Structure 1
Amino acid sequence: MVVTVFPSLVLAPSRWELLNHQMNLTVSLPTWEAVTAVMAGEDWATRQLRTSYPRFDIHNYVRELQDAVLARFKYPVQTVCRAFPSQEAAERFVARLQKADPAVSAHMARFQLPREALPEMANWAAFSVVLFQENHEEVAFEFWEWFGDGISSRHAEFCVSLFSFMNSDSNHSEYRTVGPASHDLSAMAIPEWIDFSTQDKMDIKSRLAGSATSADPALKPVGNDDVFLYATGMAAISAIARTLARTSEDSGAVVYGWPYSGTPHCVQGCGFKRYTMYGHGSKEDLDTLESSLILGTRCTALFCEITSNPLLSTPDLHRIRALANRFGFVVVCDDTLGTSVNVDILPYVDVIITSLTKIFSGAGNVMGGSLMINPNSHHYSSLRAHLNKTYEDLYFPLDAKTMARNSSDFAARVHKCSTTALQIANLLKSHPSVESVNYPTMVPTATLYEQYRRPDGGYGFLLSVFFRKPASAVVFFDNLDVWKGPTVGTNFSISIPYSALAHAKEQDWAAAHGVPKHIVRLSVGLEDYGDLAERVSRALQDVEMREK
């Protein structure tokens, strides 16, 4: 696999080595022009792409598996295949296609090893596919991006290695096939990483549970069994959203604040009868929500983030908790950016969602997500019962092994990145070309963040900066000597013009909710402050030169 490199990108070898890996999760987009060109689908940019963030594109190993399926079925070129780790995920994908076009022609098939294969091997070698016409690609990619149900690259690589032994089954006879290869599968050695996967997953759960447990001794600690692991953070969000949407025939969801761009799409698409977004995350938004609830509007769940991406604002969890207790809804909070190392939110929320892909892993080479149910929640028993009934462990063992290894120093890395990020935020804020910096200490909700910050907690690794002149933002980004691309929370600093990437088709709408078109997001890594400050200062000097 080749990481995308545009001609203008220059990286020091040490930083290149961090990403020169077949399972890397990001892509090099070194200039503002490159970002906008890729998002616009311009040929000069897209033809250079070799990989991307796995939910934004089809990973090479996943593509290889899907191509093998198409070859087995001898399908024409215009047919598209998508691979999923379970039949249920494939069925959700078909339902999404059918919702967009009831007349869609979509067929499912299940691939698995013959019966003589050892159960441990057969379980992880199995996968499902959906075949459909390429004119439905836009809806298909939306599902792939927003719901996180696609097969992982490591899982796909494993399935490719055994594909010739696999048989396929389907409701349609033309998709029932027998693998061309023969082998005594009962004698096949079970990989070590399958044997150790239970322990790897327990290590991850224990780390998450211990970190999220409240400092308040009156509250029950989070147990390992209260943590559910998923292949992606979006899969965790969609799992709890589907669960809550099914609890009532009159279910309603609220997204409060300005979250990650995919979250509203995910929540809205999970079956709630009503969906409302309060995108400013303000006191006035909570006033409006309260008035609506008083008038009888039903709310089943409220989704929020601490802190929000990319505005770094903090929700008023005290008031949200009071409203939840009064009106009976579930509070789901994503702590990916704030992290459980920095903030103690267990007294106020019912469910904590985390994208483990980000700083929990840090290495930028594995996906993962978690869902934690608060054992102190009034909804605890019902949520556990619903999830125990529907949960599928689809977290591929090699992904779990990588995540367990990467996250062993999670807390130490959070402290280091948070300390440096605060210093960089102060450096940027002091520059005359900068209009404002979004960081938990510098936004209107700063006092709220302090209420949830742990005694030894910092303010997080992420910040965003808004320049007085749009052209200055472009100059700063183009000349900032860090990795440029999607994702955050990596051990190396990484930056992107956020709105141009996340809201490429809706930048005016995002701007109306406080996300300027020329906002630059910076995720601070493990570099020493002096090193990173020098790079930021050089980019600011280029801004000064351009503004003269």
Structure 2
Amino acid sequence: MLQALGGSVPPNTDHAVSVSLPTWRANVGYEEGEDWVMKKMVCGYPRFFVHPTIQKLAQEVVRRVGDPDLESATLFASLKSARICHSFVFSKIPAEQAYKVRIVNFIPSPHTEAGSTVTSSLSCIIHPKDYAPITKQVWQHSGNGISSRRGEFCLGALEDGFLVEDKGTPTAESISQRPCKGPRRYQSKNGPRKGSIGESPPKETTDDGRDYAQFIEERFGRNLSTSLANQAKQAVRRRIAGVLTADVELSEALETTSSEGRVAGMSEEDVLLYPSGMSAIFNAHQTLLATRGELPSICFGFPYTDTLKILQKWGPGCVFYGHGSSDDLDDLEARLKSGERFLGLFTEAPGNPLLKTPDLKRIRALADQYGFAVVVDETISNFLNINILPLADIVVSSLTKIFSGDSNVMGGSAVLNPNAQYYAALKQTYDREYEDIYWAEDAVFLERNSRDFVTRIEQINSTTENITAMLKESPLVKEVYYPKYSPTKPLYDSFRNPNGGYGGLFSVTFHSNPEAVAFYDTLEVLKGPSLGTNFTLSSPYVLLAHYGELDWAKSFNVDPDLVRISVGLEEVPDLRARFQRALDAVQSTKQ
């Protein structure tokens, strides 16, 4: 039943979002980079592990425009995203090394058919291999890297001559990035290679006579058309806006209209789509900086790791309140009264992995009084369970998780509250700065996956309450972290929807490391990073997210041996039996 080490999760899925790490030892081996684990990895969580197709595309790009012996490429869907990475790298390397890092753009051939057929550009950071850990930070934290489906498309288009290097009029910036400004060892050693751009003019057909429509049809079937992608995005935005609250097919989603979304006056135009949840957070922060200027942020509560990293690495930094307590709010209020001012407060409702809920009503009052924005990540709870939009300026979410459920596509969203204090200013900035880089085929899959979102949430809510009650009753369990059992339950309940539940994610701790290991290794579910899947998924979350800072995490009462579980659609008796066998293994360690 269990997936082998390094296999895709779910099994046999080309664009899987998770990867199998079936034992505690395998998770440690992954964090340590041990060969016995790394050599078996066929995929991984996309912001941490570059998909093999994207690796192949990056190698082909460097083969054409760089030096494969010395250089690597980090790939983005737009020039804007690439420039963010470019600037970040420049801030981390000596000024005299700047010439070694450049942007190369690929664009659709002039003869590529337009209209209903999808095209893609590709912006590449070409850099010395030694700089890969720097560009990887941007790939991971910003969430703006290309998806594996876009990578598959671009690789095919590049190989077939439908994606060509942009040879447009050079700007001062692009001139400064050209490799000829550096030593000869950073130039292509052999001149134009076979198949490199510039050897021959762009062509309307490939050598075997295929045209672009035939290329699309043969490689990607009927999933790739502009009209279908736009329809899918519209349906997704309607679901997120709350104007669709039932399971419906695409055609009905496009026909259904409602005057009332999550808050009065809201429409699907207030929903923005991104290639990942972290991209939604990153761009919310970028948008606030562009709207309100260079002010520090607040990170409130123990957050998902990359949220804190974004606030620390871009802009003027942040104040971190890792406990997310009333004492922390007292301290924040004292800072505000003394004259300190902030860009925005970023928080999760509830938090990951302790499932604590922040006091959003008090935060909202402070934001209104002292003028900062409130950005809330609702990924774990989702908008069918709670409605926190009235208390936020921006609500962000990872659509990769339960909204999709199938764990085979990435996506993210940002929702603007039309009644919030900064709405007009933020809307103006988003209208100016937002670019839709959500790949067409990803949108089609996300829309299909989310059609039964409502029904799945109801079942998962019910099942999770059953399983957490079972574990709560066991003396073998030290603590169950779940909104229903949290000291912050009244805060969660204050904005829980009438039919809303407590979600499908919980964490559990035991009285010793051997007990936690026995539970994890014995639990008969798929195991790997991510959450919100239609199948039950488990991971030693703290080990994976904070391996290099376990003592730091522990200082915020986050147990290094915590096991996080995301409940799926399995039948309750089946799941209870699996959890009981894992508890029996815990009992055996005591004997």
Query: Could you say if the C-alpha distance between residues 120 and 95 of structure 1 is closer, same or farther in structure 2, counting changes exceeding 3 Å?
Result: farther
Q: In the alignment, residue 308 of structure 2 is paired with which amino acid?
A: P
- Number of the residue aligned with 1:299: 342
- Which of 465-474 and 240-249 deviates more? 240-249
Query: Could you say if the C-alpha distance between residues 218 and 203 of structure 1 is closer, same or farther in structure 2, counting changes exceeding 3 Å?
Result: closer
Q: CA deviation at 1:182?
A: 3.7
Question: How far apart, CA to CA, are the structure 2 residues paired with 1:512 and 1:232?
Answer: 30
Query: Could you say if the C-alpha distance between residues 4 and 108 of structure 1 is closer, same or farther in structure 2, counting changes exceeding 3 Å?
Result: farther
1:313 matched to 2:353: no
Query: Could you say if the C-alpha distance between residues 215 and 525 of structure 1 is closer, same or farther in structure 2, counting changes exceeding 3 Å?
Result: farther
Residues 111 and 204 in structure 2, CA contact (< 8 A), matched pair in contact too? no
Residues 256 and 303 in structure 1, CA contact (< 8 A), matched pair in contact too? yes
Residue 242 of structure 1, aligned match among 282, 286, 289? 286
Residue 275 of structure 2, aligned match among 231, 234, 246? 231
1:323 matched to 2:315: no
Question: How far apart, CA to CA, are the structure 2 residues paired with 1:4 and 1:267?
Answer: 36
- Number of the residue aligned with 2:119: 124
Q: CA deviation at 1:246?
A: 2.5
Q: CA deviation at 1:203?
A: 0.3
- Which of 378-387 and 120-129 deviates more? 120-129
Q: CA deviation at 1:377?
A: 1.1
Residues 108 and 119 in structure 2, CA contact (< 8 A), matched pair in contact too? no
Residues 262 and 389 in structure 2, CA contact (< 8 A), matched pair in contact too? no
Question: 1:207-226, aligned counterparts within 5 Å?
Answer: 207-210=239-242, 219-226=263-270
- Number of the residue aligned with 1:373: 416
Query: Could you say if the C-alpha distance between residues 38 and 219 of structure 1 is closer, same or farther in structure 2, counting changes exceeding 3 Å?
Result: closer
Q: In the alignment, residue 114 of structure 1 is paired with which amino acid?
A: S
Residue 200 of structure 1, aligned match among 207, 232, 236? 232
Q: CA deviation at 1:437?
A: 0.5
- Number of the residue aligned with 1:13: none
Q: CA deviation at 1:278?
A: 0.5
Question: How far apart, CA to CA, are the structure 2 residues paired with 1:317 and 1:472?
Answer: 36
- Number of the residue aligned with 1:412: 455
**What is the CA deviation profile of residues 154-187 of structure 1, one whole-angstrom value per residue up to 9, with x for unaligned ones?**
1111111110313213633779933767434895
- Number of the residue aligned with 1:517: 560
Q: CA deviation at 1:121?
A: 7.9
Question: How far apart, CA to CA, are the structure 2 residues paired with 1:198 and 1:322?
Answer: 38
Residues 9 and 407 in structure 2, CA contact (< 8 A), matched pair in contact too? no
Question: How far apart, CA to CA, are the structure 2 residues paired with 1:250 and 1:472?
Answer: 48
- Which of 446-455 and 183-192 deviates more? 183-192
Q: In the alignment, residue 203 of structure 1 is paired with which amino acid?
A: A
Question: 1:130-529, aligned counterparts within 5 Å?
Answer: 130-164=125-159, 165=161, 166-169=163-166, 171=174, 172=178, 177-178=197-198, 182-184=203-205, 188-189=212-213, 192=222, 193-194=224-225, 195-210=227-242, 219-271=263-315, 273-529=316-572
Q: In the alignment, residue 270 of structure 1 is paired with which amino acid?
A: W
Residue 46 of structure 1, aligned match among 38, 53, 57? 38
**What is the CA deviation profile of residues 517-548 of structure 1, one whole-angstrom value per residue up to 9, with x for unaligned ones?**
10000000011111111101000001101111
Q: CA deviation at 1:139?
A: 1.8
Residues 169 and 177 in structure 1, CA contact (< 8 A), matched pair in contact too? no
Question: How far apart, CA to CA, are the structure 2 residues paired with 1:421 and 1:355?
Answer: 20
Question: How far apart, CA to CA, are the structure 2 residues paired with 1:333 and 1:448?
Answer: 14
Residues 4 and 50 in structure 1, CA contact (< 8 A), matched pair in contact too? no
Question: How far apart, CA to CA, are the structure 2 residues paired with 1:52 and 1:525?
Answer: 20
Residues 212 and 340 in structure 1, CA contact (< 8 A), matched pair in contact too? no
Residues 155 and 396 in structure 1, CA contact (< 8 A), matched pair in contact too? yes
Residue 101 of structure 2, aligned match among 99, 102, 106? 106
Residue 31 of structure 1, aligned match among 23, 45, 53? 23
- Number of the residue aligned with 1:93: 85
Matched position secondary structure for 1:441:
helix
Question: How far apart, CA to CA, are the structure 1 residues paired with 2:390 and 2:106?
Answer: 45
Question: How far apart, CA to CA, are the structure 1 residues paired with 2:547 and 2:265?
Answer: 42
Q: In the alignment, residue 210 of structure 1 is paired with which amino acid?
A: G
Question: How far apart, CA to CA, are the structure 1 residues paired with 2:408 and 2:295?
Answer: 37
Q: CA deviation at 1:386?
A: 0.3
Q: CA deviation at 1:496?
A: 0.4
Q: In the alignment, residue 153 of structure 2 is paired with which amino acid?
A: F
Q: What's the Cα RMSD here?
A: 2.4
**What is the CA deviation profile of residues 321-345 of structure 1, one whole-angstrom value per residue up to 9, with x for unaligned ones?**
1001101111110101011000011
- Structure 1: which 5+ runs fail to align? 10-15
Question: How far apart, CA to CA, are the structure 1 residues paired with 2:350 and 2:11?
Answer: 27
Matched position secondary structure for 2:407:
coil
- Which of 476-485 and 89-98 deviates more? 89-98
Instruction: Give the alignment's TM-score, normalised by structure 2.
Output: 0.87
Question: How far apart, CA to CA, are the structure 1 residues paired with 2:419 and 2:22?
Answer: 46
Q: CA deviation at 1:250?
A: 4.3
**What is the CA deviation profile of residues 469-518 of structure 1, one whole-angstrom value per residue up to 9, with x for unaligned ones?**
22100100000000010000000000000111000111110111111110
Question: How far apart, CA to CA, are the structure 2 residues paired with 1:42 and 1:33?
Answer: 11
Residues 281 and 315 in structure 1, CA contact (< 8 A), matched pair in contact too? yes
**What is the CA deviation profile of residues 216-255 of structure 1, one whole-angstrom value per residue up to 9, with x for unaligned ones?**
9994142110000000111111111011123344412101
Q: CA deviation at 1:348?
A: 0.9
Residues 238 and 270 in structure 1, CA contact (< 8 A), matched pair in contact too? no
Residues 73 and 126 in structure 2, CA contact (< 8 A), matched pair in contact too? yes
Question: 1:6-17, aligned counterparts within 5 Å?
Answer: 6=5
Question: How far apart, CA to CA, are the structure 1 residues paired with 2:587 and 2:229?
Answer: 53
- Number of the residue aligned with 2:250: none
Identity %: 37
Residue 83 of structure 1, aligned match among 59, 72, 75? 75
- Which of 105-114 and 335-344 deviates more? 105-114
Residues 245 and 270 in structure 1, CA contact (< 8 A), matched pair in contact too? no
Query: Could you say if the C-alpha distance between residues 212 and 325 of structure 1 is closer, same or farther in structure 2, counting changes exceeding 3 Å?
Result: farther
Instruction: Give the alignment's TM-score, normalised by structure 1.
Output: 0.93
Q: In the alignment, residue 264 of structure 1 is paired with which amino acid?
A: L
Question: How far apart, CA to CA, are the structure 1 residues paired with 2:284 and 2:269?
Answer: 16
Q: In the alignment, residue 202 of structure 1 is paired with which amino acid?
A: Q
Q: In the alignment, residue 58 of structure 1 is paired with which amino acid?
A: V
Residues 485 and 495 in structure 1, CA contact (< 8 A), matched pair in contact too? yes
Query: Could you say if the C-alpha distance between residues 136 and 187 of structure 1 is closer, same or farther in structure 2, counting changes exceeding 3 Å?
Result: closer
Matched position secondary structure for 1:109:
strand
Q: In the alignment, residue 125 of structure 1 is paired with which amino acid?
A: S
Question: How far apart, CA to CA, are the structure 2 residues paired with 1:260 and 1:29?
Answer: 20
Residues 30 and 485 in structure 1, CA contact (< 8 A), matched pair in contact too? yes
Look at both structures and tell me which one has the larger radius of gyration over its CA atoms: 2
Question: How far apart, CA to CA, are the structure 2 residues paired with 1:5 and 1:426?
Answer: 30
- Structure 2: which 5+ runs fail to align? 168-173, 181-186, 189-195, 246-257
Q: In the alignment, residue 155 of structure 1 is paired with which amino acid?
A: R
Residues 461 and 503 in structure 2, CA contact (< 8 A), matched pair in contact too? yes
Q: In the alignment, residue 446 of structure 1 is paired with which amino acid?
A: K
